[in-house]
Amino acid sequence: MIDFPILTHSSDRDIIACCKGRAVTVREFLGEAASLAGRLPERPYLLNDCADRYRFAVVFAAALLRRQISLLPPTLTPETVRQLARSFPGVYCLTDDPHRAIDLPLLLYPEDLSIADVERVPVPHPDQIAAIALTSGSTGAPVPHAKTWGNLARSARAEGERLGITAGRHIVLGTVPAQHMYGFESTVLLPLQNGAALAAARPFYPADVCAAIEQLPDAAVLVTTPFHLRALLTIEGTLPAVDLLVSATAPLAPQLAQAAEARFGAPLLEIYGCTEAGQLATRRSVEGPEWTAFPGISIYRAKDGFRVRGGHVAGEVRLDDVLELTSPQRFVWLGRSGDMINIAGKRTSLAYLNHQIAAIPGVLDAVFVMPDEQAHGSVTRLTAYAVAPGLTQASLMQALRERLDPAFLPRPLHLVACLPRNATGKLPRGALEALSESLREAS
Amino acid sequence: MTLANETLEREVTDLVISTLNLDVSPEAVDPEAPLYREGLGLDSIDILEIALVVSKRYGFQLRADNEDNVRIFGSLRSLSQHIAVHRVEC
Chain segment A234-262, per-residue pLDDT in tens: 998 899 999 999 999 988 988 999 999 99
C-beta separation of A285 from A268 below 8 A? yes
A422 CB burial (10 A radius; 0-12, 13-18, 19+):
exposed
CB-CB neighbors (< 8 A) of B38 in chain A: 398
Q: What is the mean pLDDT of residues A34-54?
A: 98
Each domain of chain B, given as residue ranges in start order, spans 1-89
* Partner-chain contact B56 A406, CB within 8 Å: no
Among candidate residues A320, A333, A246, A251, the one with its CA nearest the CA of residue A292: A333
pLDDT surpassing 80 at residue A377: no
Instruction: Choose the weakest-confidence range: A73-87, A258-272, A364-378.
Output: A364-378
Query: What average pLDDT does the structure give for chain A?
Result: 93
* B19: confidence class by pLDDT, cuts 50, 70, 90: confident
Provide the β-strand partners of residue A341: A348
pLDDT per residue as tens digits for the range A280-298: 999 999 999 999 999 999 9
* B70 vs A: CB within 8 A: no
Peptide bond into A412 cis (omega under 30): yes
pLDDT surpassing 80 at residue B74: yes
pLDDT per residue as tens digits for the range A119-158: 999 999 999 999 999 998 777 778 999 999 999 999 999 9
Q: What is the mean pLDDT of residues A430-439?
A: 86
Q: What is the pLDDT of residue B72?
A: 87
C-beta separation of A336 from A344 below 8 A? no
A26 CB burial (10 A radius; 0-12, 13-18, 19+):
buried
Higher pLDDT, B69 or A63: A63
Counting residues of chain A whose pLDDT is more than 90, the rounded percentage is 79
Q: What is the pLDDT of residue A379?
A: 83
Question: Least CB-CB distance to B52: which of A231, A344, A409?
Answer: A231
C-beta separation of A393 from A420 below 8 A? no
* B34 vs A: CB within 8 A: no
Query: What average pLDDT does the structure give for chain B?
Result: 86
* B51 vs A: CB within 8 A: yes
Provide the β-strand partners of residue A302: A305
Could you tell me how many helices (H) and strands (E) chain A has, helices first? 12, 25
C-beta separation of A69 from A82 below 8 A? no
DSSP code at position A408? G
Question: Least CB-CB distance to A207: which of B21, B22, B61?
Answer: B61
Q: What is the mean pLDDT of residues A329-350?
A: 88
Q: What is the pLDDT of residue A376?
A: 57
Question: Least CB-CB distance to A205: which of B21, B41, B62?
Answer: B62
pLDDT per residue as tens digits for the range A111-128: 999 999 999 999 999 999
pLDDT per residue as tens digits for the range A167-179: 889 999 999 999 9
Half-sphere exposure for A431 (CA within 13 Å, toward CB): 12
Choose, out of B17, B18, B19, B43, the residue to mutate when testing the contact with A (most A CBs < 10 Å). B43
Q: What is the pLDDT of residue B88?
A: 81
Q: What is the mean pLDDT of residues B52-75?
A: 84
pLDDT surpassing 60 at residue B67: no
* B71 vs A: CB within 8 A: no
Residues 6+ away with beta carbon under 8 Å from B83: B8, B12, B54, B58
Counting residues of chain B whose pLDDT is more than 70, the rounded percentage is 93
Q: What is the mean pLDDT of residues B44-71?
A: 85
Residue of A nearest to B51 (CA): A205
| Dist. CA A410–CA A382, nearest whole Å | 5
* A336: confidence class by pLDDT, cuts 50, 70, 90: confident
Min Cα–Cα distance to chain B from A31, Å: 29
Instruction: Say which CATH superfamily domain B1-89 falls into.
Output: ACP-like (1.10.1200.10)
* A428: confidence class by pLDDT, cuts 50, 70, 90: confident
Provide the β-strand partners of residue A273: A279
* B22 vs A: CB within 8 A: yes
Question: Distance between the two ends of chain B, CA-based, in angstroms?
Answer: 23
